[in-house]
A and B are shown apart, each in its own frame.
Chain A
Amino acid sequence: DSGVTQTPKHLITATGQRVTLRCSPRSGDLSVYWYQQSLDQGLQFLIQYYNGEERAKGNILERFSAQQFPDLHSELNLSSLELGDSALYFCASSVAGQGNNEQFFGPGTRLTVL
């Protein structure tokens, strides 16, 4: 158990819908990272927040957005869902904001878009 929690574990929805994935980092960690994992693409970095502020952005689609709240939990919002958005979404946390820190991954949310 990494100490990072993610809810829900599974999510099944239809194309065009909007969903919210939630992540609570390990106690004391200020950084939260979001990754998308699909079979053919591996782990793709989406976005990082550090202490409430956006720190780095990857190839995150405009239909996706995220935020980190004052209690440091983070939410990833996915809208106008398409079939290709079906994937495993991981949240990870680390102590500091620099990239050179061990990241602790949550158990993931499996999103299925039908």
Chain B
Amino acid sequence: QQPVQSPQAVILREGEDAVINCSSSKALYSVHWYRQKHGEAPVFLMILLKGGEQKGHEKISASFNEKKQQSSLYLTASQLSYSGTYFCGTLGGSQGNLIFGKGTKLSVKP
């Protein structure tokens, strides 16, 4: 039931783009994205809800394909500050707890 993230790791140069994918074998109600920098706590990025609603605090775009039970996080014109591990968390219903994927490690080099 744990969502599968891909790729496991990616290395970018500043200014390059990246896509991180999250897929589930179960029907999803929502997908949540968090970023964790080394030695720090995870920080909320975005929630994508069934039906198209999105809640987020940063200029990061993402998509949620309910039929395919997949979400993708789009990081464009990457900056050094984007480095970290990105986790997706999935919810099967409006209640319940998040199940997180194993993370995608993103490294942005100058």
Q: Could you tell me which residues of chain A, from 1 to 32, have a CB within 8 Å of some CB in chain B? A: 2
Inter-chain CB contacts under 8 Å: number: 59
Nearest to A4 among chain B residues (CB) is B41
Contact at B41–A90, with CB atoms within 8 Å?
yes
Q: Mark A24-65, 1 if CB is under 8 A from B, else 0.
A: 000000000100000001111100100000001010000000
Question: Which residues of the partner chain B approach A90 to less than 8 Å between Cβ atoms?
Answer: 41-42
Q: Contacts A56-B96, A100-B30 given: A42-B44 contact, CB under 8 Å?
A: no
Contact at A100–B47, with CB atoms within 8 Å?
yes
Chain B interface size range: 20 to 34
Q: B81 contacts the other chain (Cβ, under 8 Å)?
A: no
Instruction: Kindly specify which of B15-23, B63-71, B72-80, B100-108 makes contact with the partner chain.
Output: B100-108
Nearest to B103 among chain A residues (CB) is A42
Contact at A99–B42, with CB atoms within 8 Å?
no
CB distance from A100 to the nearest CB of B (A): 5
Question: Which residues of the partner chain B approach A108 to less than 8 Å between Cβ atoms?
Answer: 41
Contact at B91–A43, with CB atoms within 8 Å?
no
Contact at A43–B95, with CB atoms within 8 Å?
no
Q: Report Cα–Cα, A106/B2, bound state, in Å.
A: 23
Q: Report Cα–Cα, A92/B41, bound state, in Å.
A: 9
Nearest to A43 among chain B residues (CB) is B100
Q: B12 contacts the other chain (Cβ, under 8 Å)?
A: no
Q: Report Cα–Cα, A33/B89, bound state, in Å.
A: 14
A-B contact pairs, 6 of them (CB 8 A): A45-B98, A98-B95, A99-B96, A100-B91, A102-B47, A103-B44
Give 5 new A-B contacts, CB below 8 A, not counting A45-B97, A45-B99, A104-B44: A90-B41, A99-B91, A99-B97, A102-B44, A103-B44
